[in-house]
């Protein structure tokens, strides 16, 4: 499958900055290299924060069918990345009454989505009392 083409599951292949896995590496049932790699090799595979933000927004859009408006937070975790993505859920007139949602997205080190959850809903004009 070439870069930019969809496979049988509908996923689009992204260009990869990681080095190819040696043929001797064992694959898990998920198709990724086994967990017997060293910590330094794992750290080298982690995508950058800007790329993690893009991947979080792209994959969440694919799942929800709605374009994210922004990524409000991104932080590294032990197993990859965690991002908060803001999505327009219900457009209303005037725009300040539109319903927004914040989703927490968990990505692995390579930027693949592992999980997501909606953490809050609010109107666009609402000011967060926490910050």
| Three-class DSSP labels, 71-122 | EEEEEEECCEEEEEEEEEEECCCCHHHCEEEEEEEEEECCCCEEEEEEEEEE
> Regarding predicted confidence, which is higher, 123 or 5?
123
Q: Which pLDDT score, from 0 to 100, does residue 129 have?
A: 75
What's the pLDDT band for 6 if we cut at 50, 70, 90?
A: low
* pTM of the shown model: 0.64
């Amino acid at each position: 499958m070439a870069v930019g083409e969809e496979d049988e599951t509908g996923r689009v292949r992204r260009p990869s900055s990681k080095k190819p896995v040696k043929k001797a590496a064992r694959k898990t049932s998920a198709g990724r290299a086994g967990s017997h790699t060293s910590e330094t090799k794992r750290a080298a595979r982690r995508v950058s924060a800007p790329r993690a933000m893009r991947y979080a927004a792209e994959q969440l859009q694919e799942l929800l069918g709605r374009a994210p408006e922004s990524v409000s937070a991104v932080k590294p975790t032990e197993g990859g990345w965690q991002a908060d993505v803001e999505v327009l859920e219900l457009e209303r007139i005037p725009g300040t009454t539109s319903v927004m949602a914040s989703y927490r997205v968990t990505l692995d080190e390579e930027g693949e989505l592992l999980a997501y959850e909606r953490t809050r809903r609010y109107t666009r004009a609402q000011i967060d009392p926490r910050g």
